[in-house]
Amino acid sequence: MILIIGLGNPGDKFKNTRHNIGFMTLDFFAKKNDFPDFELSKKYGSLVSEKNNIILAKPQTFMNESGKAVKKLKSKNTDLVVIHDDIDLSLGKIKIVENRGSAGHKGVESIIKNIGNKGLVRFRVGVQPPRGKPSNPENFVVKNLTSEEQDTINKTIKKTSDALVFLIENGLEKTMSKYNAP
Protein backbone atom coordinates (compact mmCIF):
# COMPACT_ATOMS: atom_id res chain seq x y z
CA MET A 1 0.00 0.00 0.00
CA ILE A 2 1.26 3.46 -0.91
CA LEU A 3 -0.04 6.57 0.81
CA ILE A 4 0.58 9.78 -1.14
CA ILE A 5 -0.09 12.95 0.81
CA GLY A 6 -0.38 16.34 -0.86
CA LEU A 7 0.11 19.21 1.55
CA GLY A 8 -1.91 22.39 1.37
CA ASN A 9 -4.58 24.45 3.09
CA PRO A 10 -8.31 23.82 2.65
CA GLY A 11 -10.66 26.43 1.22
CA ASP A 12 -10.95 28.63 -1.85
CA LYS A 13 -8.82 31.36 -0.25
CA PHE A 14 -5.71 29.15 -0.58
CA LYS A 15 -6.63 27.26 -3.77
CA ASN A 16 -4.03 28.84 -6.12
CA THR A 17 -1.30 29.61 -3.62
CA ARG A 18 2.24 28.29 -3.53
CA HIS A 19 1.46 26.44 -0.29
CA ASN A 20 -1.12 24.32 -2.13
CA ILE A 21 1.28 22.75 -4.63
CA GLY A 22 0.74 19.38 -2.92
CA PHE A 23 -3.03 19.59 -3.39
CA MET A 24 -2.66 20.74 -7.02
CA THR A 25 -0.27 17.90 -7.80
CA LEU A 26 -2.57 15.26 -6.32
CA ASP A 27 -5.54 16.67 -8.23
CA PHE A 28 -3.58 16.44 -11.49
CA PHE A 29 -2.22 12.96 -10.68
CA ALA A 30 -5.67 11.66 -9.72
CA LYS A 31 -7.29 12.96 -12.91
CA LYS A 32 -4.49 11.74 -15.18
CA ASN A 33 -4.55 8.25 -13.62
CA ASP A 34 -8.34 7.86 -13.42
CA PHE A 35 -8.69 7.90 -9.63
CA PRO A 36 -12.19 8.34 -8.22
CA ASP A 37 -13.22 11.79 -6.99
CA PHE A 38 -11.82 12.84 -3.62
CA GLU A 39 -14.26 12.37 -0.76
CA LEU A 40 -14.07 13.83 2.72
CA SER A 41 -13.19 11.25 5.36
CA LYS A 42 -13.99 12.62 8.80
CA LYS A 43 -12.15 9.63 10.32
CA TYR A 44 -8.91 10.76 8.65
CA GLY A 45 -9.57 14.50 8.51
CA SER A 46 -8.69 14.42 4.82
CA LEU A 47 -10.03 14.34 1.32
CA VAL A 48 -9.24 10.82 0.13
CA SER A 49 -9.20 8.92 -3.17
CA GLU A 50 -8.14 5.27 -3.45
CA LYS A 51 -7.32 2.93 -6.32
CA ASN A 52 -5.12 -0.17 -6.76
CA ASN A 53 -3.50 -0.06 -3.29
CA ILE A 54 -2.70 3.63 -3.65
CA ILE A 55 -4.32 6.15 -1.32
CA LEU A 56 -4.22 9.84 -2.20
CA ALA A 57 -4.94 12.21 0.66
CA LYS A 58 -5.23 15.96 1.10
CA PRO A 59 -5.30 16.74 4.85
CA GLN A 60 -7.98 19.28 5.78
CA THR A 61 -6.26 20.25 9.03
CA PHE A 62 -4.39 23.25 7.58
CA MET A 63 -0.71 22.99 6.77
CA ASN A 64 0.77 23.38 10.25
CA GLU A 65 -1.33 20.49 11.64
CA SER A 66 -0.87 18.09 8.69
CA GLY A 67 0.84 15.51 10.91
CA LYS A 68 -2.38 14.83 12.82
CA ALA A 69 -4.15 13.66 9.66
CA VAL A 70 -1.10 11.76 8.38
CA LYS A 71 -0.84 9.90 11.69
CA LYS A 72 -4.46 8.74 11.32
CA LEU A 73 -3.92 7.72 7.68
CA LYS A 74 -0.58 5.91 7.97
CA SER A 75 -0.50 2.24 8.85
CA LYS A 76 2.59 0.14 9.58
CA ASN A 77 2.69 -1.48 6.14
CA THR A 78 2.17 1.73 4.18
CA ASP A 79 4.86 3.45 2.15
CA LEU A 80 4.52 7.20 2.61
CA VAL A 81 5.17 9.92 0.03
CA VAL A 82 4.56 13.60 0.83
CA ILE A 83 4.38 16.34 -1.81
CA HIS A 84 4.90 19.91 -0.65
CA ASP A 85 6.06 23.38 -1.63
CA ASP A 86 9.67 24.32 -0.87
CA ILE A 87 10.81 27.94 -0.61
CA ASP A 88 14.48 26.82 -0.68
CA LEU A 89 14.19 25.45 -4.24
CA SER A 90 13.86 27.63 -7.34
CA LEU A 91 10.43 27.85 -8.91
CA GLY A 92 9.81 24.76 -11.01
CA LYS A 93 12.50 22.52 -9.52
CA ILE A 94 11.67 19.24 -7.81
CA LYS A 95 13.85 17.31 -5.43
CA ILE A 96 13.04 13.91 -3.99
CA VAL A 97 14.46 13.13 -0.55
CA GLU A 98 14.12 10.43 2.09
CA ASN A 99 14.60 10.41 5.88
CA ARG A 100 15.42 14.13 6.04
CA GLY A 101 14.48 16.90 8.44
CA SER A 102 11.82 19.52 7.77
CA ALA A 103 14.17 22.39 6.78
CA GLY A 104 11.69 24.69 8.53
CA HIS A 105 8.59 23.60 6.58
CA LYS A 106 5.81 23.65 9.19
CA GLY A 107 3.67 20.98 7.51
CA VAL A 108 6.60 18.58 7.23
CA GLU A 109 7.61 19.48 10.79
CA SER A 110 4.13 18.46 11.97
CA ILE A 111 4.37 15.13 10.12
CA ILE A 112 7.80 14.36 11.59
CA LYS A 113 6.57 15.30 15.07
CA ASN A 114 3.62 12.90 14.71
CA ILE A 115 5.19 9.89 12.93
CA GLY A 116 8.94 10.50 12.61
CA ASN A 117 10.89 10.68 9.37
CA LYS A 118 12.06 7.07 8.97
CA GLY A 119 11.02 6.00 5.47
CA LEU A 120 9.44 9.39 4.82
CA VAL A 121 9.83 10.16 1.10
CA ARG A 122 9.23 13.77 0.13
CA PHE A 123 8.74 15.42 -3.22
CA ARG A 124 9.91 18.98 -2.63
CA VAL A 125 8.47 21.35 -5.25
CA GLY A 126 10.29 24.65 -5.61
CA VAL A 127 8.38 27.92 -5.29
CA GLN A 128 11.27 30.35 -4.74
CA PRO A 129 11.04 33.40 -7.03
CA PRO A 130 13.95 34.28 -9.36
CA ARG A 131 15.08 37.11 -7.05
CA GLY A 132 15.70 34.64 -4.21
CA LYS A 133 14.04 33.74 -0.95
CA PRO A 134 11.56 36.42 0.18
CA SER A 135 12.07 38.20 3.50
CA ASN A 136 8.72 36.92 4.83
CA PRO A 137 8.29 33.34 3.52
CA GLU A 138 5.16 32.67 5.62
CA ASN A 139 3.22 35.42 3.84
CA PHE A 140 4.77 34.70 0.44
CA VAL A 141 3.67 31.04 0.28
CA VAL A 142 -0.01 31.84 0.91
CA LYS A 143 -0.20 34.44 -1.88
CA ASN A 144 -1.69 33.51 -5.25
CA LEU A 145 0.65 32.49 -8.04
CA THR A 146 1.15 35.02 -10.83
CA SER A 147 0.15 33.91 -14.35
CA GLU A 148 3.84 33.46 -15.28
CA GLU A 149 4.44 31.39 -12.14
CA GLN A 150 1.30 29.35 -12.83
CA ASP A 151 2.65 28.35 -16.26
CA THR A 152 5.89 27.12 -14.69
CA ILE A 153 4.04 25.38 -11.85
CA ASN A 154 1.70 23.61 -14.30
CA LYS A 155 4.75 22.10 -16.04
CA THR A 156 6.25 21.19 -12.67
CA ILE A 157 3.02 19.55 -11.49
CA LYS A 158 3.02 17.40 -14.65
CA LYS A 159 6.67 16.47 -14.09
CA THR A 160 5.97 15.64 -10.43
CA SER A 161 3.00 13.51 -11.43
CA ASP A 162 5.19 11.66 -13.95
CA ALA A 163 7.79 11.13 -11.22
CA LEU A 164 5.12 9.63 -8.94
CA VAL A 165 4.14 7.13 -11.64
CA PHE A 166 7.83 6.33 -12.18
CA LEU A 167 8.28 5.84 -8.41
CA ILE A 168 5.34 3.44 -8.23
CA GLU A 169 6.66 1.43 -11.18
CA ASN A 170 10.43 1.59 -10.57
CA GLY A 171 11.14 2.35 -6.90
CA LEU A 172 12.79 5.20 -5.04
CA GLU A 173 16.44 4.88 -6.10
CA LYS A 174 15.74 4.93 -9.84
CA THR A 175 13.25 7.77 -9.37
CA MET A 176 15.74 9.87 -7.44
CA SER A 177 18.41 9.19 -10.07
CA LYS A 178 16.12 10.25 -12.91
CA TYR A 179 14.33 13.24 -11.35
CA ASN A 180 16.93 14.76 -9.03
CA ALA A 181 19.12 15.85 -11.91
CA PRO A 182 20.16 19.52 -11.71
Rounded CA-CA distance 113/111 in Å is 5
Alpha helices in the chain (DSSP H): 21-32, 66-73, 106-115, 137-140, 147-170, 172-179
Q: Reduced to 3 states, what is the DSSP secondary structure of residue 5?
A: strand
Question: Under a CB-based contact definition with an 8 Å cutoff, are residues 30 and 52 in contact?
Answer: no
Comparing CA positions, the residue from 93, 108, 131 lying closest to residue 59 is 108
Question: Under a CB-based contact definition with an 8 Å cutoff, are residues 7 and 63 in contact?
Answer: yes
User: Catalytic: which of 19, 68, 93, 122?
Assistant: 19
Q: Reduced to 3 states, what is the DSSP secondary structure of residue 6?
A: strand
Angle (nearest 5°) at CA 14 between 176 and 55: 45
Whether 19 sits among the annotated catalytic residues: the reply is yes
The catalytic residue positions are 19
